[in-house]
Amino acid sequence: MAGNILGTTVYYDVDCNLDKLVGKKITVVGYGSQGHAHSLNLKENGMDVTIGLRKGSKSWAVAEEAGFTVKETGESVKDADVVMILTPDETQADTYKNEIEPNLKKGVYLGFGHGFNIHFNKIQPTEDVNVFMVAPKGPGHLVRRTFQEGRGVPCLVAVKQDPSGDTKEVALAWASGIGGGRSGILETTFKQETETDLFGEQAVLCGGVTALIQTGFEVLTKAGYDPVNAYFECLHEMKLIVDLIYEGGFTKMRHSISNTAEYGDFLTGPKIITEDTRKAMEDVLKDIQSGKFADEFLADSKAGQVFLNKKREESREHDIEKVGKELRKLMSWIEK
């Protein structure tokens, strides 16, 4: 039954009614990481799923091989009762305006895997459209794999517009249908999901962690230490520490490491994450909240991803990537 964790309502399969999707025509727009996982999981739960793709998409044949009917995006949504948009954030607004919106029928349920375009008003559905979000807290390959293993990735659900009065039930059915109800479906809002997701990615999970690792590698190699040692200490062992934190929080990690490491943890952490760092993180959050980051990201996309491609190339050419490529050849199990 539905529970409560620190004020957040959590639902499980027993709280969800898959009949809210049974018999409905479902279209998933996009067949990438999340798209293929949602589609296959729902299909195996007996749902009628069509895939919507742009003409010439490389995913077209892949989706057909998986047993789906595939149509061009505009055609795929014409008769759909439920439409889930799982294309990249930067393409959604144009796709919605040009192909999806003109073909939606009245009273359709419109779903998103991330709140970005709804929260920042890049997509503004008419009042007769039911708008919901189901955001798995994990990449698509995990959504698929854990489902096949009889488990599931926790999901966040939110409702933005509810003219039909049962959009939350549809959202819960979707989350349950892709496996979220096995581990927990947490109720949230588009604002909460979007802003915390962007902040986590930028300041901690991706931007923060990669900058910390790379800088540590640079400091050691500049001081004359072997790049191999620097790689192992700053990058390779990161997974070992994160796995311990994932399994039991900071307490389990600190219980598992040496007293030397734990002492250094408490002594040095505050020297790295200073008040200036905290202020910088607060500024990052303000840019997200104001929509400044969203506008910059979309502008770069429209300009041909000039900034993104430049940084991708710089990253590929960094010594830590070259060293890592050679060392990973020694660890064949990683590729598997």
Q: What are phi and psi of 130, to 5 degrees?
A: -80, 125
Residues with Cβ within 8 Å of 296's Cβ and at least 6 positions away in sequence, in order, are none
- The letter for the amino acid at 42 is L
What residues have CB less than 8 Å from 181, skipping those under 6 apart? 11, 12, 13, 14, 15, 16, 152, 172, 175
Q: Tokens at residue 251, please?
A: 């307490």
114 annotated active-site: yes
SS3 139: coil
Distance between CA 51 and CA 292 in Å, rounded?
A: 33
The closest alpha carbon to 178, from 214, 210, 234, 134, belongs to: 134
Looking up tokens 């096949």, which residue turns up?
148
Among 36, 38, 114, 119, the one annotated catalytic:
114
Question: Which token pair is 142?
Answer: 């995990």
Q: What is the dihedral of CA 315, 320, 322, 327, to 10 degrees?
A: -140
User: Alpha helices of the chain — where are they, by DSSP H?
Assistant: 33-44, 59-65, 73-76, 89-95, 116-119, 140-148, 167-177, 190-199, 207-222, 227-231, 238-256, 259-272, 275-290, 292-302, 306-316, 319-328, 332-335
Q: Which two tokens stand for residue 321?
A: 């990537």
Rounded-to-integer distance, Cα 40 and Cα 32, Å:
12
Cβ atoms 108, 82 nearer than 8 A = yes
**Contact predicate 9/2, CB 8 Å:** yes
Return the active site residues. Answer: 114
